Amino acid sequence: MPSAPSRPRRRSRAAATRTSSTTPVGLPISQLVGTLGGGLLTVVVDVGGPAVDDVTLAEPGSGVFGQAGDLLLGVGVEGAADAAALLEGAAAVDCGAVVLRRAAARNQQVRAAADRFGVSLVELADHASWAHVVWLLRGVLDRAASGPALRAEGPVLDELFALADACAALVAAPITIEDTQSRVLAYSSTQDVADPARVSTIVGRRVPDEVIANLRGRGVFRRLARSDEPFFVPAGRGLRARVVVPVRAGTEWLGSIWAVVDEEPPEHVMASLVQTASVVALHLLRLRSQADLARRVSADRLRAVLSGDTLEAEGWLPSAPWRVVVLSGAHRDDAAGDDAPRDTQRELDVWESAARRRSWRQPLLAVFDGVALTLVRDVPGDASPGTWEWLLGVVEEVAGVTPTATASAGGRVSRTVDLDRSRREATEVQRLRDAGRVTGTTTTVEDAWAAVTNARALGGIWTEELLGPVAGLREHDETHHTAYLETVAAWLDHPGDPRAAAARVHVHPNTLRYRMQRLSDVVDLDLHDPETRLALRLQLRALGH
């Protein structure tokens, strides 16, 4: 099913097979183009540059130029000025190379711009289909990334791609196999006759929201979730006609097969698609079970390193520095009530879905001591998936749907032995948030240092056996129904400002002054001594004032 280029870069199938411990595997642009052969692509300017490890569509109007190591496709970029602007944008993010149609790529001004900005330039033959070239590029990059680090689901994905080709042969039309979240799992090699949005489907690997909304409004997904039989979706609202085949295992809906067609296929073709869907269902079950296993292994490794078992952790952790972050509030069961225990596993599932939707293919997430945790890199200026700056956007997105969603981060650390400290700091910040002492959607321990320091000091105060005058004030308040404790707390919190202190306890300033004058009749208290004021304030905070 086609999508439109509405999102920034999505990782390729190659990237989807990498673990978080591996460095992205790329190819020099000359080697990548040479591997394709056939005269489809030609390198016209080679400046070296970073190895290519992914493919992305350029969206100059939205400021999307991919990321470091991308092969940037200039679909629809024809004028010399537009091409030069694209090259400048690509240089800013250190793209691996830019692909343009032959006419633009051979323009002397464009070549000069490529040299000036230090970006390799590749020309696409006039007869070549963007969609077909994308498919070929992805195949080469997949193989480059599938060396010894290939995960167990690699063969399953390969078989899904083969099944997509088999379906394409049945209906003589391009095919995608998608999961229930409209993420593209596999696609056929036959893409030349697809509608224009097909290219971005292959690149994006997920159908954009506007296309999903279009089909949902036509009742396609409602029928897909309930039907066991393939059905025909007529062309409309800018999309070509489709055949949709539900993929089920028993009563469970696992995904779907989509074919772009000109007319409804005959019955025998539909029957063959149903048979193929039953085979696809087995592969999707295998893929899900392997993904669950990989998720459990990742969570176990993360819990181990956060518990202090750092042996061989450098082999799978992303490069330092890191932060440990407590994620909370993304899952809210309104029917369960405020006093119901948190469903931490469901919480983790929501955060994982949000992370994967924003291109972190192997999120480092786990439940630890009853809270959902993640480990992210924290390098200033780096907003790539799996970093702290990137996570800020994820939390903002989740909070837009569930306002209670928050992130509480421990300190930045550069040694694995310090990860446990970052975890403890993140937990401290979260506890203060739960107590109302910390606010804001995202908070680091550096932001909350004062509240954390006070909380640590308060942890050593025994309120049952208070030393000094506070015990006497508490006894007097309980016996005579006075309010000396909260009055002294307000006085200490607003030094030299009796009006603000009085407003804090909802009395007239003269009443507050009178209480403070009467204080010496109740206890012996020297408020001029700074050490006394500090100890007094800590004890009052421990009592909740």
For residue 437, give both structure tokens: 């002492």
Q: What is the DSSP letter of 243?
A: E
Residue 336 has pLDDT above 80, yes or no: no
Distance CA 312, CA 293 (A): 20
Cα 323-324-325 angle, rounded to 5 deg: 110
Q: Which of 7-21, 87-101, 271-285, 433-447 has the lowest mean pLDDT?
A: 7-21
Q: Categorize the per-residue pLDDT at 211 as very low, low, confident or very high, splitting at 50, 70 and 90.
A: confident
For residue 59, give both structure tokens: 């969206």
Q: For the segment 93-151, what is each residue's pLDDT rounded down to a tens digit? A: 888 899 999 889 999 999 999 999 999 999 988 767 777 677 667 767 766 665 433 34
pLDDT of 490: 86
DSSP 175-207: EEEEETT-BEEEE-S--TTS-TTHHHHHHHSB-
Distance CA 254, CA 156 (A): 15
Q: For the segment 64-76, what is each residue's pLDDT rounded down to a tens digit? A: 788 888 899 988 8
CA distances in angstroms from 449 to 17, 151, 443, listed in the order given: 40, 42, 10
- One-letter identity of residue 57: L
Cα 201-202-203 angle, rounded to 5 deg: 90
| Residue 425 near residue 411 (C-beta atoms within 8 A) | yes
Q: Which residues pair with 406 in a beta bridge?
A: 328
CA dihedral angle for residue 395, residue 400, residue 406, residue 411, rounded to 10 degrees:
30
Residue 10 has pLDDT above 50, yes or no: no
pLDDT of 142: 67
pLDDT of 159: 77
Q: Which of 139-143, 265-269, 511-515 has the lowest mean pLDDT?
A: 139-143
CA dihedral angle for residue 268, residue 269, residue 273, residue 279, rounded to 10 degrees:
70
pLDDT averaged over every residue in the chain: 79
| Residue 49 near residue 97 (C-beta atoms within 8 A) | yes
Residue 540 has pLDDT above 70, yes or no: yes
List helix spans (H) across 484-544: 484-493, 498-504, 509-522, 530-542
DSSP 468-493: STHHHHHHHHHHH---HHHHHHHHHH
Chain centre to alpha carbon of residue 469: 52
| Residue 364 near residue 20 (C-beta atoms within 8 A) | yes
- One-letter identity of residue 117: F
pLDDT of 427: 93
Q: What is the mean pLDDT of residues 506-526?
A: 84
- Provide the whole-model pTM: 0.52
Q: Which of 84-98, 186-200, 271-285 has the lowest mean pLDDT?
A: 186-200
Q: For the segment 447-457, what is each residue's pLDDT rounded down to a tens digit? A: 888 888 888 88
Q: Which residues pair with 432 in a beta bridge?
A: none
Instruction: Reduce the DSSP state of residue 315 to 3 states and report it.
Output: helix
Residue 8 has pLDDT above 60, yes or no: no
Q: Categorize the per-residue pLDDT at 389 as very low, low, confident or very high, splitting at 50, 70 and 90.
A: very high
Q: Categorize the per-residue pLDDT at 327 as very low, low, confident or very high, splitting at 50, 70 and 90.
A: very high
pLDDT of 18: 33
Q: Which of 7-16, 244-253, 256-265 has the lowest mean pLDDT?
A: 7-16
pLDDT of 250: 73
pLDDT of 332: 60
For residue 533, give both structure tokens: 């004021």
Q: Categorize the per-residue pLDDT at 293 as very low, low, confident or very high, splitting at 50, 70 and 90.
A: low
Nearest to 204 by CA among 9, 474, 439: 9
CA distances in angstroms from 113 to 48, 73, 86, 298, listed in the order given: 15, 16, 10, 45
pLDDT of 378: 93
10 Å Cβ neighbour count for 474? 18
Q: What is the largest CA-CA distance in the chain?
A: 99
Domains identified in the chain and CATH numbers: 23-147 (3.40.1390.20), 149-306 (3.30.450.40), 310-458 (3.30.70), 463-542 (no CATH)
Chain centre to alpha carbon of residue 75: 27
Residue 158 has pLDDT above 60, yes or no: yes
Q: For the segment 182-207, what is each residue's pLDDT rounded down to a tens digit? A: 777 888 876 554 454 555 555 555 66
